[in-house]
A and B are shown apart, each in its own frame.
Chain A
Amino acid sequence: MGILVDYLEAKAMADRYGIRSVESAYLDSAEAAVEFSKHKPIALKALSGNALHKTKSGLVALNLSGENEIRSAFRNLAEKASAYKPYKILGQRMVSGGLEIILGGSVDPQFGKLVLIGLGGIYVETFRDFALRICPVTRYDAESMIEQLHSKSVIAQDDKARGMLVDLILSVSRMFSDNEVSELDLNPVILHDGTYDAVDIRILR
């Protein structure tokens, strides 16, 4: 069993490799949450090593806007999370719309580190539309990974989108290769407005 890396540490690692992710901060009060939102929709997530699945444990509140909604969501979340002490509450800027993909890494006992890209979010397990390559991947490998996906015409609609995903795969491969990481999930990564943002980053050492 790997040890889960703190979210903001994981985000900082992704930042160093130029991997985009939504603006995030730990919030210690309802007021801090309101301030963080800057009048734009946010999400709140209670993070605890004692609760593996945030959504199932009711520890996620999405698309919050307006001071009152944010305050009450924060208090509600803090109350639920008190069952999973110690916990932290993470605020994240919402990104709206867009298709969800997954990128990740895992270690095969025989061949070593592998990088994955696939159709993400709720579709991961249903369609199992993903491509894998041994690390470190080349540009050719990254291109052929996208080519391999059934969903390629949806997630890489034009050359620009395709190029962006190729660069993202290469960055994930570099991050995974360079660091002592045993499992890695960027899930979901939301494709929106001609760019992308990782919304959840799980790194296991």
Chain B
Amino acid sequence: MAKNPKTKIEYADLDPIFTPKSVAVVGATDKPGKVGHAIMLNYIDAGFSGALYPVNINGESFIIGHKAYKSVLDIGEDIDLAVISVPAKYVGGVMEECGRAGVGGVVVVSSGFAEVGQTKLQDELAAVSKKYKMPMVGPNCLGVMDVRGRNDTLFLPTFKIDRPKVGGVSFASQSGSIGASTLDLMSSAGFGLSRFISYGNAAVVDEVDILNYLAHDRHTQVIVFYLEGVKRGKAFIETAKVATKLKPVVIIKSGSTNAGAGAAQSHTASLAGSYEAYRAVFRQYGFTEAEDADDLLHFAKIFDTQPLTSGKRIAVITNGGGHGVLATDAIYKNGLALPRLDKRTEDALRRVMPATVNVRMPLDIGGDADDKRFADALRAVSNDPNVDALMVIALFQTPGADDRVSESIINYAAKRQKPMVVVSSGGAYTKSHVAVMENSGVPVYESTTAAARSLAALIGYAAYREAVLQGYASPSKRME
């Protein structure tokens, strides 16, 4: 394992890569369709306010309206970040020049390294990075995006992929394609994003460094991680312990099958495959594991918007009886429970609800429920000491439900006293209300199952965190 002894990368070392004041785009070109063109255009389109220096060996005077340079050494100004997209065989030379020019960090977009067996070429890049203490993301990656600072090394044209608004979710993905498609989904789902990073071959900056960086990044409230594997298991665990104590980390691991596992001599070894070991790490050190891309978005959404609770009693308010039953099933299937309402809550509800409403859990406030009835129910139920969180089912197909209902829900959500999820499923009319609610920070789900799973994820993480903060789960001596 000590083949590549690694110089420790402190999280502040990655600042020039994520939040540069000046960027050199090496391999920039005027030719549309080229990676170096797309990267330049994106910096311009995103409205990057720092200095932008296109670099191309061909020696054009201007590239897309910016003064161009033959080498980073010719720029003569401080350069925080160099984004490199020249052919693989030239990358080492370019990095050497970056090192001499005192560049803060590099993103190597170019492919043609370890992923196609060119490990020696990749080792050379790592050596240059180490020599100049110049962190490198990549090679073979999309690089980074910082929405707040309008730093965007992605070579994906802006019209093809939605760029998200500024927010608290940061997303890391080893794979570029999964990174890009998930980013697109997150943007269209209305997430506010802080940082995005696709780190490719991880020759220098790896999953441990990234987790550490995002854990300490004050703009990141929720970390979402798409992991193919880790190279430094023990360091990953140590970093995870710190990260999950600070903020939720939603993680998904590809490769859940154990093809090629060696022959084991014991039952234990045959059961404890590689994926099972990852799952053990995720459970033990406070990650929230997502089973698929849907989970990833669903979990990120609740963590991004809702306060934590470790209480498992979920009150259900619905304007559709059938959905109340489905919600109850989903809640119990996920290890949660319905509360027993306090006597005072029941009395309060009886005073404000029509006689046709049965005061019990799940609370079916009727197909004719309007915004006032939703608001009354929300107020009474959320004040109940036996209620830890709420699931509100708002079906907009009913006659009483219109934009005033979503407003009632948004008004409650703004107080953020207890976690709340909303379930609304339907067509175009429903979707318009969903969009309004989501933009106001209400996590809305299409199914009671997704809503219950997300609540269970939130509650599970909160319980872990409480245990850790009480010193229960983390003894002084955890490492061997």
Within 8 A of B (CB), among A92-115: 102, 104-106, 108-114
- Contact of A124 with B by CB under 8 A: yes
Number of A-B contacts (CB under 8 A): 100
Give which listed residue, B233, B274, B478, contacts A136 with CB less than 8 A.
B478
- Do the beta carbons of B266 and A132 come within 8 Å of each other? no
- Do the beta carbons of B467 and A140 come within 8 Å of each other? yes
> Complex Cα distance A111/B1, Å?
12
- Do the beta carbons of A102 and B267 come within 8 Å of each other? yes
**Mask: chain A, 30-66; 1 = CB below 8 Å from B; 0 = not:** 0000000000000000000000100000000000000
Known A-B contacts A108-B233, A111-B281, A114-B280; A130 and B473 likewise in contact (beta carbons under 8 Å):
no
> Complex Cα distance A184/B281, Å?
20
Give which listed residue, B237, B265, B268, B274, contacts A1 with CB less than 8 A.
B265
Pick from B281, B284, B474 the residue with the most CB of A within 10 Å.
Answer: B284
- Do the beta carbons of A134 and B281 come within 8 Å of each other? yes
- Do the beta carbons of A124 and B267 come within 8 Å of each other? yes
- Contact of B472 with A by CB under 8 A: yes
Within 8 A of A (CB), among B68-87: none
Within 8 A of A (CB), among B265-282: 265-272, 274, 276-277, 279-281
- Contact of B127 with A by CB under 8 A: no
Q: Chain B's nearest CB lies how many Å from the CB of A137?
A: 8
- Contact of A135 with B by CB under 8 A: yes
- Do the beta carbons of A116 and B237 come within 8 Å of each other? no
- Do the beta carbons of A124 and B280 come within 8 Å of each other? no
- Contact of B264 with A by CB under 8 A: yes
Give which listed residue, A52, A116, A137, A140, contacts B272 with CB less than 8 A.
A116
- Do the beta carbons of B272 and A108 come within 8 Å of each other? yes
- Do the beta carbons of B480 and A113 come within 8 Å of each other? yes
- Contact of B399 with A by CB under 8 A: no
- Do the beta carbons of A112 and B234 come within 8 Å of each other? yes
- Contact of A24 with B by CB under 8 A: no
- Contact of B475 with A by CB under 8 A: yes
- Do the beta carbons of A104 and B474 come within 8 Å of each other? no
Contacts of B467 in A (CB 8 A): 140
Pick from A105, A106, A109 the residue with the most CB of B within 10 Å.
Answer: A106
Contacts of A109 in B (CB 8 A): 274
- Do the beta carbons of B237 and A148 come within 8 Å of each other? no
> Complex Cα distance A179/B169, Å?
43
- Contact of B283 with A by CB under 8 A: yes
- Contact of A153 with B by CB under 8 A: no
Known A-B contacts A113-B480, A144-B283; A138 and B269 likewise in contact (beta carbons under 8 Å):
no
Minimal Cβ-Cβ distance residue in B for A1: B265
- Contact of A204 with B by CB under 8 A: yes
Known A-B contacts A110-B274, A118-B271, A138-B475; A184 and B233 likewise in contact (beta carbons under 8 Å):
no
- Do the beta carbons of B283 and A185 come within 8 Å of each other? no
Within 8 A of A (CB), among B440-480: 467, 472-475, 477-478, 480
Give which listed residue, A125, A138, A183, contacts B473 with CB less than 8 A.
A138
> Complex Cα distance A133/B269, Å?
13
Q: Chain A's nearest CB lies how many Å from the CB of B464?
A: 9
Within 8 A of B (CB), among A129-173: 130-141, 144, 148
Contacts of A114 in B (CB 8 A): 272, 277, 280
| Nearest 4 pairs of A and B residues by beta carbon | A104-B268, A110-B233, A132-B280, A106-B269
